[in-house]
Copies of this chain bind each other. A is one copy, B any other.
């Protein structure tokens, strides 16, 4: 029996078992990652707390990343688990400043999954990979017994190449940087939740799931001094900014009036009692770079359909406590915490 004799670093009296919130992108997931995984796997790559790892090989720098997908339902307005997985992994590579090259796909299928569902997901994976100009170069298939899965789970890992000399990562963020967001928030989360809750809104909300590698390449080609890139997935903008601010030991102030949220998404959030700052996106990212480069960066972003609504939404300052504040439209400062608890299980 495997026994390493070390006490579990998560207090078992508080959390004797894994809860849904441990996968929600908020505080509990953060605890699990920091206290358990970072402690056990400790190495300089993980210490960077990035969307993927960047490493040197003979000729240059490469980035590697991995994500599993357990979204429910498999098909939702604006996407499905196949395209979502390709976009997610391509985007993680882009956030490392890499040009995506190759993906791997590993499937965990539940016995009884309709074969035609698998075929639709396979085609979606293939089509999304083609659109992102990456190849699916290796794969794996496992089948688990009926009742031990939920149709289909998917892992995509990816590798990309860095073709610049920037050190893009949370620790590079510094006071004086501005925060740009590439588009309106909350659509992916609300699209999935609306289907799941059987809600009907006046207009159907479609997921924002989209690849971001092309626009990131455009930013990089202009030699902007990009300090950090981060896509806004589980936990939304609020959790991403909190993680980055904590790693960089800086503070971020957001201007509520500038944070773009579509009216229908805001309405759906109100119905469900959710804050759009915490809702997952799958085609949105933030850029940290010096104030003097903000206008050029926004121009490049807006030239790409997927970033047409790009905005400057905040700035970085020296005071790291609290890490993230929101200047509300009422003119008061409100602390923006990490997501606590689980608001949207299995959103990706």
Contacts and interface: CB of A to CB of B under 8 A. Distances in A.
A64 B102 contact: yes
Number of copies: 2
Interface stretch (A16-24, A173-181, A279-287, A294-302): A16-24
A165 interface: no
Most chain B CB within a 10 A radius of its CB, from A113, A119, A345: A119
Interface in A5-48: 6, 8-10, 12, 15-24, 29, 32-33, 36-37, 40-41, 43, 45-46
Given A102-B55, A145-B346, A157-B157, A16 B115 contact: yes
B17 A113 contact: yes
Most chain B CB within a 10 A radius of its CB, from A33, A69, A105, A118: A118
Q: What is the interface of chain A mostly: helix, strand, loop, or mixed?
A: mixed
In the complex, which range does the number of interface residues on chain A fall in? 35 or more
A23 to B, nearest CB: 3
Interface in A255-276: none
**Top 3 A-B pairs ranked by shortest CB distance?**
A59-B59, A58-B59, A23-B143
28 contacts: A2-B83, A4-B123, A6-B123, A8-B116, A10-B115, A16-B115, A17-B113, A17-B114, A18-B113, A18-B118, A18-B143, A20-B111, A23-B141, A23-B144, A37-B122, A40-B123, A52-B138, A53-B138, A57-B58, A57-B60, A57-B62, A59-B59, A66-B139, A67-B140, A68-B140, A144-B150, A144-B346, A145-B345
